[in-house]
Amino acid sequence: MLAYTVKRLLQGAATVWFIATATFVAMHSVPGDPLANQRATSEEIRRNLEERYGLDRPVIEQYGIFLGSMLRGDFGISFTQENRRVNDIIRENFPVSATLGILAVTFAALGGILWGALTALYRNRLPDLVITFLVILGISVPSFVVAALGQLALVNLNAAVGEPLLPVAGWGTLRHMIVPSLVLGLGTMAYLTRLMRSSMLEIADADFIRTARAKGLPPTRIFLKHQLRNAILPVVTVLGPAIAAITTGGFVVELVFAIPGLGRYFVTAVQQLDYTVIMGTTVFYGAFLVVMVIAVDLLYGWIDPRVRLE
């Protein structure tokens, strides 16, 4: 187990190195000039800026410096926010994205399990059809449309009530988080509902359920202990990647609801060619994904004895 963990961690480190390198290469092959400005600047000012960001050195040296400071956990100073460190940006804005992501996944998982179980129980009857229809909507409408409609619905709801039930945008309190996390979790919830449904149906046909029924176990017990518990397993396995994917994929919701998450920073940084922020964010997110995957694998091996960690 220990050996396996160490091996996985080493692999993880190598992966992070690969991500860093890929980002560096992509970044430096981008056409355009990160130091260009609306007002034309003189050669001297340009040189000063290049010096400040180390852009005057050969690329290979820049790469070395980048890797070195990355090892020390320092991503340098932002190009556009000239006196903020990328580390500060990540420290301040990642928790927002993570909060949003965790909430969204929680919502998606709870909803997915509930709806999935219901559709399986009411297979091919009205509740199933209705929920399936909603799920289909959930996966087939682009997220930015859902987000914009969600915000609009909120405005109309508040207007109808005459009292601001929930804020329309912004971040800070509990009430700010509800609608964005619902919107963000919708796609995943739809996916989990489908997964849960098929998993429930598969298990309903399993031998051990038939045996349990034959033994005359109370239906409640069969459902809870045998069917639901076993059906949830596949859902649980996808949660880890889902958290990571949602946390790193919340751009749209962050943009529409004016949420100060890291994703929004990344989009602006790309438009501004803010080298350090782009590289810092990408490497950080990459490392976050890698750690999540390793953690889930280890956890899974620990929960499910059938899984052998090599």
* Rounded Cα–Cα distance for residues 179 and 190 (Å): 16
**Interaction residues for other proteins, span 246-285 (CB under 8 A):** 248-249, 251-252, 255-260, 264-267, 270-273, 278, 281-282, 285
Cβ at position 220, least distance to other proteins in Å: 4
User: In this structure, which amino acid lies at residue 178?
Assistant: I
Quick check: 106 binds other proteins (CB under 8 A)? yes
Interface with other proteins in residues 128-147 (CB under 8 A): 136-137, 139-145
If you ran DSSP here, which 8-state letter would residue 169 be given? S
Residues 286-305 that bind other proteins (CB under 8 A): 286, 289-290, 293
**Per-residue contact string for residues 182-211; x = within reach of other proteins by CB under 8 A:** ------------------------------
Q: Which of 9, 77, 238, 309 binds other proteins (CB under 8 A)?
A: 77
Query: Exposure of 31 by Cβ count < 10 A (0-12 exposed, 13-18 middle, 19+ buried)?
Result: exposed
Minimum gap (Å) between residue 295 Cβ and other proteins:
14
Q: Select the residue interacting with other proteins from 129, 155, 295, 303 (CB under 8 A).
A: 155
- In angstroms, give the least distance from the CB of 267 to other proteins: 5
Q: Which of residues 12-51 bind other proteins (CB under 8 A)?
A: 14-15, 18-19, 22-23, 26-27, 29-34, 36-45, 48-49
Place of tokens 């682009």: 142
- Of the chain, the end-to-end C-alpha distance in Å amounts to 8
Contact 26, 275 (CB under 8 A): no
Q: List, as one string, the DSSP characters of 30-86.
A: --S-TT--SS---HHHHHHHHHHHTTTS-HHHHHHHHHHHHHTT---B-SSSTT-BH
Checking phi first, is residue 57 left (phi over 0); if not, alpha (psi -120 to 50) or beta?
beta
d(CA 135, CA 50): 52
Torsion of CA 301, 302, 303, 305, to 10 degrees: 70
Nearer to other proteins, 88 or 300 (CB): 88
Site for other proteins in 158-177 (CB under 8 A): 158-159, 164, 167-177
Q: What residues from 108 to 127 belong to the interface with other proteins (CB under 8 A)?
A: 110-111, 113-114, 117-118, 121-125
Binding to other proteins in span 219-248, by CB under 8 A? 219-220, 222-224, 228, 245, 248
Shortest distance (Å) from residue 85 CB to other proteins: 9
Using CB under 8 A as the binding criterion, the count of chain residues that bind other proteins stands at 120
